[in-house]
Amino acid sequence: MLSVSQKAALVSMIFLLVVIGFWEANSQPPKAQEALSEYELLMGGADQEARIPPPSAIAVKAWEELSDPFYDKGPNDKGIGIQLAYSISRVLSGYLLAAFIAIPIGFVIGMSPLMYRALNPYIQILRPISPLAWMPLALFIIKDSETSAIFVIFICSIWPMLINTAFGVASVRRDWINVARTHELSPLRTALTVILPAAAPTILTGMRISIGIAWLVIVAAEMLVGGTGIGYYVWNEWNNLDLTSVIFFDFNDRSGRHVVGPRTQ
Amino acid sequence: MTAHFLQVQDLTKRFSGKNQTPLTVFDKVSFNIDKGEFVCIIGHSGCGKSTIMNTLSGLDSPTSGGVIMDGKEVSGPSLDRGIVFQNYSLLPWLSALDNVRFGVKARWPSWSKAQIKQHSLDYLELVGLKGAENRKPAQLSGGMRQRVSIARAFATQPKLLLLDEPFGALDALTRGVIQDELVKICVKTHQTVFMITHDVDEAILLSDRILLMSNGPNAVIAESVTVDIPKPRQRGDIIKNPGYYTLRNHLVDFLVNRSASSHYKEQTRPLMSNPIKSQLSKEKSEPLAPRSCAVSEILPTGT
Ligand SMILES: Nc1ncnc2c1ncn2[C@@H]1O[C@H](COP(=O)(O)OP(=O)(O)O)[C@@H](O)[C@H]1O
Ligand SMILES: [Mg+2]
């Protein structure tokens, strides 16, 4: 007998084969039924019609790209590894900056009802703004596309961390705070030895949500600012009408996301 | 005025919520505890026992009145008062040893790591938890958690130990084991203890004195009953003590019949009684009433 996970793997494989088979079968260039007219010959045949590339073509492209991920042939032609590295470094710098600011502020908001009430209106107003809506403003103020992309990552990943930290800290059980109080711990020690471990699961959830959003946003941001990164590359290949590359990069984007945030959904 | 170790004077606690009538939990409660004394407080659920304990510990402040311990007014929580909370309040991300170490480190910040660890291990061993020190609270049974909590409180060697229904959630067998351990520890260290319980037998086994609390709201300490059974006591032996049942009946009678009485409302000092002594002296010199207040006729003294 197969275990449940083995069966699941089997079913997954069957689904994959069916989908890929269907895709492959439906994206073959149509066989020319009659001899091509002179006009068609001139235009390069029916093959020229835009069509989603078949999986086999993508596999070939993937092999090509992955076998040499770090080549660098000028600003418009870099290996997938280099593009990915650019994106990851942007995501990480924006994200870490956000964490450094959001977690301490979240702590303060969570611990002090006064600060909660004072800062809550600003959070409620700023949070729903779409991250990409910050882009023009950032470009105008910062005047540097690289920093602007990082800023957009920063602004989109700050909210889940801020809100989760504040919520986690505010809902630490009264009993545990009382344990700290009866042991005469200073506020700083209470924060580090009791509140931080107690709120850690909620804070980590916020961090996970943030990195997921950051990775979603970086692709869009790079499409806008251009230059490097996988978002730019997808856009570039689209402009080159190279759908095979676009699809390859889309899959690659998933794997890239596994690199930065293994447990985002 | 004789200086008692702990003096509770005219303690009143009133909770006044935004849109509810203010609730006076207890009103002008006064009692004293001497050094080395083991005092239990018994009362019906909701009469305000935990609230009194929170006030004694300094976690909560009284509406009026005050608590003086060792000549100093209690104004906030202190390591001089160790607490075993009703729900253990262990930190779930720390192992049993680390929970105890948490207290020891707070008490003696200058100690070396090895010294802190050894001291913590000693106390875990004292409560019979040797070998379970690396387990997290979730991996311990209720009784073991309670023992960790007791070890944490004992290890800081507080001047006053406050126990809030520490055995309430335990099965009878475990409860017996830990009670015996508590007796042993108290005999060894002459610890001053203030303990909340709703178990009459437990109170008799452990205490030098039992405070009886009337029902809330506006609860008071109605009586202070001395337990005249020599210590150390054995669970099996105390029921053979001639005064045991008199005392037990007296307590149960209070809980069942008298705790709701409004007699107590004007009383400011607990009525002192010693059922065992009065019974024994009654047996010896029968018609003469040896004490002004016999057990069966409790009168309010304040008026
Ligand atoms: N924070 C609070 N706010 C309002 N009422 C409270 C609060 N804490 C306790 N009480 C009330 O005080 C009374 C005594 O509670 P408590 O001291 O927990 O009783 P117990 O004797 O069972 O330990 C109860 O009626 C309870 O509802
Ligand atoms: Mg209680």
Same domain, B169 and B258: yes
List chain B residues with CB under 8 Å of A186: none
Encode A67-91: b = buried (16+ Cβ within 10 Å), e = exposed: eeeeeeeeeeebbbebbbbbbbebb
Asked if the structure places residue B294 within a domain, the reply is yes
Confidence at B300, pLDDT banded by 50, 70, 90? very low
Same domain, B193 and B252: yes
Lowest mean pLDDT among A14-18, A253-257, B83-87, B246-250: A253-257
Same domain, B96 and B75: no
Q: What is the pLDDT of residues A185-201, one digit of tens each?
A: 999 999 999 999 999 99
List chain B residues with CB under 8 Å of A184: 77-79, 106
Is the pLDDT reported for residue A111 higher than 50? yes
Residue in B25, B85, B86, B199 to alter for ligand 1 test, most ligand atoms within 8 A of Cβ: B25
Mean pLDDT to the nearest integer, A45-74: 72
Residue nearest to atom 14 of ligand 1 (CA): B48
Tell me, yes or no, if A179 comes closer than 8 A to chain B by beta carbon. Answer: yes
Same domain, B258 and B293: yes
Assign residue B225 the CATH number of its domain: 3.40.50.300
DSSP class of residue A190 equals H
Q: What is the pLDDT of residues B155-168, one digit of tens each?
A: 999 999 999 988 87
Same domain, B257 and B169: yes
φ, ψ of residue B110 in degrees (nearest 5):
-85, -5
Tell me, yes or no, if A192 comes closer than 8 A to chain B by beta carbon. Answer: no
- ipTM of the predicted assembly exceeds 0.85: no
Asked if the structure places residue B90 within a domain, the reply is yes
Is the pLDDT reported for residue B140 higher than 70? yes
Asked if the structure places residue B86 within a domain, the reply is yes
Residue A72, SS3 per DSSP = strand
The string of DSSP letters for chain B reads: ----SEEEEEEEEEE--TTS--EEEEEEEEEEE-TT-EEEEE--TTSSHHHHHHHHHTSS--SEEEEEETTEE--S--TTEEEE-TT----TTS-HHHHHHHHHHHH-TTS-HHHHHHHHHHHHHHTT-TT-TTS-GGGS-HHHHHHHHHHHHHHT--SEEEEESTTTTS-HHHHHHHHHHHHHHHHHHT-EEEEEES-HHHHHHH-SEEEEE--SSSB-EEEEEE----SS--HHHHTTSTTHHHHHHHHHHIIIIITT-GGGGG--SPEEE-HHHHHHHHHHS-SS--SSS-TT----S--
Asked if the structure places residue B1 within a domain, the reply is no
The structural domain count of chain B equals 2
Is the pLDDT reported for residue B288 higher than 60? no
Same domain, B76 and B90: no
Mean pLDDT to the nearest integer, B182-187: 83
Same domain, B54 and B200: yes
- Is B83 within 8 Å of A176 when comparing Cβ atoms? no
Mean pLDDT, chain A, integer: 82
Measured from CB, residues less than 6 Å from any atom of ligand 1 are B 15, 23, 25, 43, 45-51, 216
Mean pLDDT, chain B, integer: 85
pLDDT > 90: percent of chain B: 44
| Residue B247 neighbours by CB under 8 Å, 6+ apart | B204, B225, B227, B229, B275, B276
Contact (Cβ atoms closer than 8 angstroms) between residue A209 and residue A160: yes
Question: What is the model's pLDDT at position A30?
Answer: 63
List chain A residues with CB under 8 Å of B149: none
Mean pLDDT to the nearest integer, B291-300: 39
- Is B106 within 8 Å of A185 when comparing Cβ atoms? yes
Same domain, B166 and B261: yes
Among residues B124, B156, B188, the one where a domain terminates is B156
Asked if the structure places residue B224 within a domain, the reply is yes
Contact (Cβ atoms closer than 8 angstroms) between residue B94 and residue B112: no
Q: What is the pLDDT of residues A52-65, one digit of tens each?
A: 777 888 788 778 77
Asked if the structure places residue B148 within a domain, the reply is yes
Find the residue in A nearest to B85 (Cα). A175
Phi-psi region of A184 (alpha: psi -120 to 50; beta: other; left: phi over 0): left
pLDDT > 70: percent of chain A: 82
Same domain, B129 and B250: no
Is the pLDDT reported for residue A42 higher than 90? no
Q: What is the pLDDT of residues A203-232, one digit of tens each?
A: 999 999 999 999 888 888 888 777 777 777
- Is B59 within 8 Å of A176 when comparing Cβ atoms? no
Same domain, B61 and B29: yes
- How do beta strands B64-69 and B192-197 pair? unpaired
Structural domain harbouring B91: 82-156
Same domain, B117 and B168: no
Asked if the structure places residue B16 within a domain, the reply is yes
Which of B77, B87, B91 is facing A182, going by the closest CB pair?
Answer: B77
Distance from the B224 Cα atom to the nearest Cα atom in chain A, whole angstroms:
28
Superfamily holding A93-222: MetI-like (1.10.3720.10)
Which of A176, A184, A197 is facing B77, going by the closest CB pair?
Answer: A184
Distance between CA atoms of residues B102 and A197, nearest Å = 13
List chain A residues with CB under 8 Å of B82: 182
Asked if the structure places residue B188 within a domain, the reply is yes
Is the pLDDT reported for residue A174 higher than 50? yes
Is the pLDDT reported for residue A105 higher than 90? yes
| Residue B181 neighbours by CB under 8 Å, 6+ apart | B126, B127, B128, B147, B150
Same domain, B183 and B74: yes
Q: What is the pLDDT of residues B54-71, one digit of tens each?
A: 999 999 999 999 999 998
Residue A78, SS3 per DSSP = strand
- How do beta strands B64-69 and B72-73 pair? antiparallel
